[in-house]
Structure 1
Amino acid sequence: MGKQNVIVPDQWVDSMRASSPTHAKAAAVLSGSQEASHDDEYHKWVKQYPSALSNFDDIFAASKGIQIVMFLDYDGTLSPIVDDPDRAFMSDAMREVVRDAARHFPTAIVSGRCRDKVFSFVRLRELYYAGSHGMDIKGPSKTTKHTKAKRKGVLFQPASVFLPMIDEVYKTLLRKTELFPGSSVENNTFSLSVHYRCVDDKILSSLFEMVKSVLEDYPELRRTSGKKVLEIRPSINWDKGKALEFLLESLGFGDRTDVFPVYIGDDCTDEDAFKVLRDRGQGAGILVSDIPKETHASYSLREPAEVKEFLSRLVEWKRLPSSKNKYKDAMS
């Protein structure tokens, strides 16, 4: 996986069809032997990408004496995946644990969503927010001990020139998707998302071909895929990995070795960030998934509930007195 490539038409349609609701429902009707096979595959996979909860102490032993920085995806990581993307609400308990984490470590939300939309879900002013797959970055509006001497007001939008084009495509897709019940188009400001989670499998091919046809007039835009969603964004050398590097630079850790970035995400767009961490030889990439998949992450968590538990343990670990935590100075 890693860097998102433009998928050729036939492969694109086939890959989208394979993740359609009808196929997903059919795949869910498994015999006992098939379920056992899935479990066996997952257990083999998790040996390669071990649980970040089971290996918690090992992960942060590697961060001894250096600064931890947290990067969190939103959908499927801090909130569950839901049929209606406008109702992907974050629980109060999850919000509280993210707030606690941000008290101890610089923390950023990195999402494909519009930055303002993500903020409306999270509602924590002390965080960094990187929306539109990192193409719309803004620093905290609330000063913390981590941002007093930093560029807390940083605003970076590398794809601003594409705004009129994206708005034009949005209006076109909004009109054309009216013919496809269950589909919706989300304007993420610097990117677009065509959601098809609730679209009947019988009309998926026509929906995909329609989107492809619209984009033929806009070669400056590229399409990628996510969980039951088509992503449309500018063809520039920018992604969540680049956003991670930019935020580390903004925090003053760009070329430093005394930093331990932790990135938690669930989708293929997060692979760019996982790959950056691997290439830097720093930190830990944690994939949220309950099915085996190829990844550049080093560890795994099964679902948002485990993300919450991981963050809670991290906060409690920070609070432990030195006599009870041999790695306490890793959090300073």
Structure 2
Amino acid sequence: MDLSGSMPGLESLGGLFSSFGRPKPILVSDYDGTLAPFRRERGDAVPLPEVKELLWRIISAGGDVMILSGRDAGEVFLLLGLDVEIIGCHGWQRRSPGGKTETLPLSGDERRAVQALSSLFDAFPIDSVEIKPVSAALHWRERDEIKRRWHKLEPEIIDRAGQSGLEALRFNGGIEFRIPAFSKGAAIERILEHRKENGPVFYLGDDVTDEDAFLALKGRGTGILVSGSPRRSAADAWIRPEEVKFFLEMWLSALEGEQRRGEA
């Protein structure tokens, strides 16, 4: 992986928008920490008004936008407030515009692993635990007492999760255990397979849960790391969180420019 500090920044991304045309490129984005700033309470994590407005304008102009999140797809829809395609639970779940939700089947071993998720974080306050259909997450955002308890119990929980066939995935402000078959990388692979006739994929993501998505895009799209400071990443470019708005403005401008050329 390259050091993000050596990757192109926002000022170098203009050339990427030369791919706009027919077919149009697809914008896929993580939610937490990318479109929505982290908040102590997960239910307070909503995009800044100007970011939401830009996303709405991109969609209204015919842009192809998808959200890929570890959260439940319905929860993302309620927080985002935009009727776009949402891939939730690390790819296990898909909510199409209009609200139809589909899920991928689970094997017998995967169903048994799911049963282990419900008790994995029993020693923690309920408001710090997020139980999802194919994963469970512990959040310690700005809560040092939760983080201290996690470090005390970490070896025991890691061992129990491993015995159940679960994969540990650390993220900004917590840790998640999930069924290995469901990852953002696998979700990107499915997007690429199902949207063969569409243009290239651009993916925005902010933490280690997004790295397998960046890897899946190698040679077939562009991964963009959203991070306040340089770190090692498989992404192709790096922008700061405050630059997401400018990136979306560039996307909208390129999309509208292509529309004008088509009408000329």
Q: Report 1:46-65 matches (<5 A).
A: 46=5, 48-51=6-9, 53-63=10-20, 65=22
Partner of 1:307: 244
Partner of 1:85: 42
Q: Report 1:142-291 matches (<5 A).
A: 155-159=102-106, 162=110, 165-166=113-114, 168-170=116-118, 172-178=119-125, 184-197=128-141, 198-200=143-145, 202-215=148-161, 217-218=163-164, 220-236=165-181, 238-251=182-195, 253=196, 259-278=199-218, 281-291=219-229
> How far off its partner does 1:241 sit?
1.8
Identical-residue share of aligned pairs (%): 27
Matched, 1:317 2:254: yes
Return the alpha-carbon distance in structure 2 between the equivalents of residues 299 and 243 of structure 1. 20
Give the stretch that moved more between structures: 84-93 or 68-77: 84-93
Partner of 2:92: 135
Q: CA 1:119–1:63 in 2, change beyond 3 Å: closer, same or farther?
A: same
Return the alpha-carbon distance in structure 1 between the equivalents of residues 107 and 86 of structure 2. 17
Q: CA 1:283–1:208 in 2, change beyond 3 Å: closer, same or farther?
A: same
Letter in 2 for 1:88: A
Cα contact 2:167–2:179 (8 A) shared by 1: yes
Letter in 2 for 1:225: R
Cα contact 1:262–1:283 (8 A) shared by 2: yes
Partner of 2:236: 298
Cα contact 2:4–2:238 (8 A) shared by 1: no
Q: CA 1:131–1:154 in 2, change beyond 3 Å: closer, same or farther?
A: closer
Return the alpha-carbon distance in structure 1 between the equivalents of residues 51 and 111 of structure 2. 33
Matched, 1:108 2:66: yes
> How far off its partner does 1:99 sit?
1.8
Higher strand share: 2
Return the alpha-carbon distance in structure 2 between the equivalents of residues 110 and 260 of structure 1. 16
Deviations 1:60-114 (A, max 9, x none): 1245554200100001100112222222122332222112222322211001111
Letter in 2 for 1:155: E
Q: TM-score, normalised by structure 2?
A: 0.85
Q: CA 1:320–1:61 in 2, change beyond 3 Å: closer, same or farther?
A: closer
Return the alpha-carbon distance in structure 2 between the equivalents of residues 318 and 211 of structure 1. 48
> How far off its partner does 1:158 sit?
4.2
Return the alpha-carbon distance in structure 2 between the equivalents of residues 59 and 250 of structure 1. 23
Partner of 2:76: 118
In the alignment of these two chains, the number of paired residues is 258
Q: Can you give the 5+ residue segments of structure 2 that lack an aligned partner in the other structure?
A: none
> How far off its partner does 1:159 sit?
3.8
Cα contact 2:25–2:202 (8 A) shared by 1: yes
Q: TM-score, normalised by structure 1?
A: 0.69
> How far off its partner does 1:297 sit?
0.9
Deviations 1:19-66 (A, max 9, x none): xxxxxxxxxxxxxxxxxxxxxxxxx853x2111x31232111245554
Q: CA RMSD in A?
A: 2.8
Cα contact 1:136–1:190 (8 A) shared by 2: no
> How far off its partner does 1:225 sit?
1.0
Cα contact 2:134–2:178 (8 A) shared by 1: yes
Q: Give SS of 2:124's match.
A: helix
Higher Rg of the two aligned structures: 1
Return the alpha-carbon distance in structure 1 between the equivalents of residues 89 and 154 of structure 2. 21
Return the alpha-carbon distance in structure 2 between the equivalents of residues 154 and 188 of structure 1. 15
